[in-house]
Amino acid sequence: MACQTRASVSRRQFIQGSAASLAALGVTGGRLYAAGSDKIRVGLVGCGSRGTGAVRNCVDSSPNVEIVALGDLFQDRVDACLATIKKNGEKDWSSSQPWRHADKVKVTPDTCFTGFDAYKKVIDSGVDLVILATSPHFRPMHLKVAIEAGKHVFMEKPVAVDPVGIRSVLQSSELARQKGLAIVAGTQRRHDPKYVEVIKRVHNGDIGELVAGQCYWVGCFVRQWGFYHERQPSWSDMENQCRNWYYYTWLSGDHIVEQHVHNIDVINWAMGGHPVTAMGMGGRQVRVEPEFGNIYDHFAVEFEYANGARILSMARQIDGCTDRIAERIVGSKGVAAEGLIEGAKPFKYEGPTPNPYEQEHADLIASIRAGRPLNEGRQVAESTMTAILGRMSAYTGRAIKWDWAMNASKLDLTPPAYELGPLPVAPVPMPGKTALV
């Protein structure tokens, strides 16, 4: 199960695809408002490249959606995002077609916000739906305020960086369920028909008892993806770390959490739940320069699930090596991968291939308009926690049980204060020496 294809589809196909996806997810009833009779006002928190792409995906996915508010820690990020979405013609990597909805941008100077409290101002600006796309550390607190304020939420993965944050997300997800609010996460494989159809067959027993599997995000250094920004003389420690958030565990969770969560989520989906234990290893072999923070560049983790099946997880960010981004589920009667089953009941997906980065927004908005809001909070929290469990094991060199980590771990990576001042970098973890907290 490898990287997503980005096929071009029409708006009508998206709306039809949303109905099909919602039916597959058990969301039925009501109407989808295909004529666009209900306006949805969207606010963005986190104006980096993914946030800018996400608001375009959202507007591209459904009719009668407007972008009305922007918030970020830094003014230049807000300015860059606004300039991008107010000009038609550019094609984002996650979009199926060039941007053509500048007329849907209703942002004004009064609805642009900066600072650590910008998220509160976006949430309070009269929006219906909030897109949360800051660095992952901030997701739990942003989600909590959004749900308490009665807003629907699209939140990028991962949704926390430590067990304390995961517990908060689970509480917010339950509150959203009680209040009838939607939460959809950026684990877009859950909205990709190639995956949906294969996992449905896995759950129907087409490959028999699940006995093993593998998942991989083995790729490049990601330096060239724009995550690294050379420190400027005026930047404080906090500003430098927030601008280079990917390379600091307290902000990103490390790449096993920030990136590999996609593949781990597919495994949890197929297995029908989270693992019971993790034993991992990893290190920092080529990412040695101090400007690249304190994260590792490779991990290998064995996850054991309740039925005894063991899943091998690999994540690596080192240039010049063999790449593999995929998932594979092994059953007693066959093997499942992206869009494909081999064995006693073979299957190859040959249906529509909508852009999943847009389809997840289409499904979210359709569920709101149908009065049956999707809530993916628990599933993405558990997948994020699975990745965190693997990281904790690799960092400490200890095998770790899920129940202990979820219920007893006191690990909380929150900094002493949210202010643009000094902030020492935590040392690179050393297995066998780093304490299990």
Within this chain, do residues 265 and 399 fall inside the same structural domain, yes or no?
yes
Within this chain, do residues 46 and 144 fall inside the same structural domain, yes or no?
yes
List Cβ neighbours of 96 (8 Å cut-off, separation of 6 or more).
6, 7, 8, 9, 60, 354, 355, 358
Strand segments (E) across 272-397: 277-283, 298-304, 310-317, 324-331, 334-337, 340-343, 347-348
Please say whether the beta carbons of 248 and 293 come within 8 A.
Answer: yes
User: What integer pLDDT is reported at residue 310 of this predicted model?
Assistant: 98
Per-residue pLDDT of 78-89, as tens digits, reads: 999 999 999 999
Per-residue pLDDT of 12-30, as tens digits, reads: 444 444 544 554 444 433 3
Cα separation of the two ends of the chain? 34
Task: Indicate the SS3 state at residue 328.
Answer: strand
Assigned domain for 420 exists: no
Residue 340 has pLDDT above 70, yes or no: yes
| Average pLDDT of the residues in 133-158 | 98
Assigned domain for 428 exists: no
Within this chain, do residues 255 and 338 fall inside the same structural domain, yes or no?
yes
| Average pLDDT of the residues in 304-325 | 97
Within this chain, do residues 167 and 200 fall inside the same structural domain, yes or no?
no
User: What integer pLDDT is reported at residue 38 of this predicted model?
Assistant: 86
**435 DSSP assignment:** P
Indicate the pTM of the whole model.
Answer: 0.92
Task: Indicate the SS3 state at residue 343.
Answer: strand
Tell me the DSSP string of 387-410: HHHHHHHHHHT--EEHHHHHHT--
Within this chain, do residues 262 and 177 fall inside the same structural domain, yes or no?
no
* Dist CA 412 CA 405 (whole Å): 12
Within this chain, do residues 142 and 162 fall inside the same structural domain, yes or no?
yes
Residue 66, domain extent = 11-190+358-376
Assigned domain for 330 exists: yes
Assigned domain for 55 exists: yes
Assigned domain for 157 exists: yes
**297 DSSP assignment:** S
- What CATH number does residue 393 fall under? 3.30.360.10
Overall number of domains in the chain: 2
Task: Indicate the SS3 state at residue 340.
Answer: strand
Per-residue pLDDT of 59-104, as tens digits, reads: 999 999 999 999 999 999 999 999 999 999 999 999 999 999 999 9
- Identify the CA nearest to 11 among candidates 29, 42, 35, 27: 35
* Dist CA 136 CA 159 (whole Å): 6
Q: How confident is the model at residue 226 (pLDDT cuts 50, 70, 90)?
A: low
